[in-house]
Structure formats: structure tokens, C-alpha cells
Amino acid sequence: MTEREGQASLAVVRLTLSDFRCYSFLRLEADPRPVVLTGPNGAGKTNILEALSFLAPGRGLRRAKLSDVTRRQAGPTAPWAVAATVQRPDGPIELGTGREAASERRVVRIDGQAARSQAALSEVLSALWLTPAMDRLFTEGAGGRRRFLDRLVLGLDPAHAARAAAYDHALRERARLLKENRFDPAWLSVLEETMAHQGVAMAVARRDTVARLNEACRLGLGPFPAAALGVAGRVEANLAAMPAEQVEAALKDSLAQLRRRDAEAGGAGEGPHRSDVWVRHATKDLPAEHCSTGEQKAVLVAIVLGQARIQAARMPPILLLDEIAAHLDQARRAALFDELCALGAQSWLTGTDESLFAEMGERGQFFRVHDAVVTRA
């Protein structure tokens, strides 16, 4: 075992859930080693990972409405809460988040103090996840791929969340005005200027993250393949050819010219919300969507591990790996566990078969989950 193995520099050491999914109440104590949760389907394993994902900005790994997360027996308007003690190099921090009663408003508290928005969480904790639903990432719509990349960007640039929120707000407001045939040039111009400024900043951050990821993934990680990524979109293409200021001006002009068309179509036909992300299995020089399910999973794992290595210098992410061993052969499982133990980042893994995690041995801590009851294995 190396000096870093089992010594994550950022870890959730206490997790408390109240009226969250299938849990009326749960308190789970852990140490910085990888956490392995095993049990039958429907036992509540993924719900624990989802709770952890709410400790970072965003809608969690299922992208659920806040009301959908409330435990059914508590009633549709009941609040829920997730609290955690996060061990960091500079000491422990208490995080709390949840739903206000009878609303879709999410509240956040850091060391007992109310935060202005959930974006504040990105300064404390970063989370990356892989779920079985992401096995379709390369074959379904571009939205999932954009969200995947934006989660990676957020790990390197916490301001990305605020930029994206400002862009999305301006995008929705512009679409509302156009739908209502309110072509006020002054107000639309302000919204389009916001979209252009924030949108180009988002695209720059995406391109920078992709460049760093490509370097980290260029040679592969053990038995995991080398991966290559790129962002395809007009804004990104323009950034490759001209300064950001010119790209911003071009996007603003384009949005102004397309108001009538966008009013008929709904939304906006130009901007980083239309971009797509492409991924290649670089070792085989093959688009990821043409690879086998096992190869696609291996490519995704390689990207997430590459990202974790990049982030380690600033803030190691919490890794949430749901049913991660399902499509990995024994060599790749063993290599994954070795890498997780050496990253300095705490990982939480789930599976139905405890034997698939045997190579982890005493480097990990094992829990069994059955009917929303969690016990140490």
C-alpha cells in the first residue's frame, strides 16, 4: 500500500439523511477509505449516492425534482434533508442541504450558516459520478453529454455553475418575451448581451477542461483505454479561429438577427446550450458510440479517473460509482480499485454482488444495505 492509499484528503466521514427517498432517518459513519455498499436491487444503495450528490451544486445524479426526493410516507409537501461532516486538509466542515416544506426551493447551510445559493457548495466539495443510466451517454441526445462535461468543468472551475445559471436565466427570459411577442429591443438586447458574455465564458471553460482531460487521458490508465474528447458547436468553432471578444460580439449579433425565427421555434438556435460533446476510444481510433458496452464503460471510467487526477491538485472529488463493476472484467476491476485507493479522493461504490469487490480487501470499508437498513459487513 502506498502512502496515499486509504488516506483521502477530502472525505465524507458522517452522512445523515432525513425523509430522503426510502430513508426515514439514516446516520452513516465512515472513514476516508473507499466505501462499498452492497445489497439487492431496490435496497437503497443508489439513494445514498444520490444524497451525496446533493452535497455539490446541481440537481443530483438523478436530476430529480426536489419533491420527488421526499420519502413517500412523509407526504408530498414534506421537507427532506441531507447533512454531512466533510473532512478536508484544513479541517472538518459541516454541510447541510434539503428541500423547504411545500416548495421546490433548495436550501444550503455551510458550518451552520445559510448560503446565498447552492453554488457555494462548489467551494467546499466536488462530486463526480457514473451511473448505469450513463451507459447510454454516447448513443442518446447531446444534453446528457453536455451535463457530463459541465460537471467535469465545475470540478476545475467553481464559477462555471454561476455562469451557467446566469446564461440559462437569460435564455429562458428571452424565450418568454419572444413567445409573448414582446420584441422590446432594449430588454432583449440586455438578455442577449448576458447570454453572449456568459455563454462564451462557458464555452472557453469547456474547451480548457477538454484540453486538460485529453492530456490526462492521452496514454490511458492501466487497462483503461486512452480517450479523446472534443466540443462541437459554432461558439467553440469560432473560439478556435478568433479572440473571445469577437466571438462574444458575433453571438450577440446572431441572437439579435434570429429573434423572429427563435420566436417561432421556441428557445434559441445559437449558443453553447446547442453544443455537443464527442468522445473517441483513442486506442482503437473509434467513436465511443461504435464501441461495445464494456468498452464504453471503460472509456467513461478512464475519463472520470483522468478528471480526478487533474482535480487532485486543487480539491479531490468525491467519486460516486453506481454498479461500477457490472461491465468491467477482473483486470479492469482490480486496476480501478488500485487507482481509487491511490487518488486521495474518497469513493463510494455500489453493487449487488459483494464478491466483485474482493480485490479491494481491507483497503475499503464494506456496508450491506437491505430494505433501507445499512449495517457494516
1-126+316-377: CATH superfamily: P-loop containing nucleotide triphosphate hydrolases (3.40.50.300)
Confidence (pLDDT) at 1: 38
For the chain, which residues make up each domain, given as ranges? Answer: 1-126+316-377, 137-314
Taking the C-alpha atoms of residue 302 and residue 206, their distance in angstroms, rounded to an integer, is 18
Which residues are CB-neighbours of 361 under 8 A, at least 6 positions away? none
In the CATH hierarchy, which top-level class contains the domain 137-314? mainly alpha
111: left (phi over 0), alpha (psi -120 to 50) or beta: left
Confidence (pLDDT) at 2: 41
Please state, for a pLDDT cut of 70, what percent of the chain lies above it.
Answer: 98
Strand partners, 86: 12, 93
Average pLDDT, the chain: 93
The pLDDT of 21-39, averaged and rounded, is: 97
Question: DSSP class of residue 224?
Answer: B
Taking the C-alpha atoms of residue 42 and residue 62, their distance in angstroms, rounded to an integer, is 15
The pLDDT of 50-71, averaged and rounded, is: 95
Confidence (pLDDT) at 219: 80
Residue at 174: amino acid letter: R
Strand partners, 368: 38, 375
Confidence class for position 193, pLDDT limits 50, 70, 90: very high
292: left (phi over 0), alpha (psi -120 to 50) or beta: beta
Confidence class for position 7, pLDDT limits 50, 70, 90: low
Confidence (pLDDT) at 327: 79
Task: Tell me if domain 1-126+316-377 and domain 137-314 are identical in fold.
Answer: no
Pairing of strands 127-130, 318-321: parallel
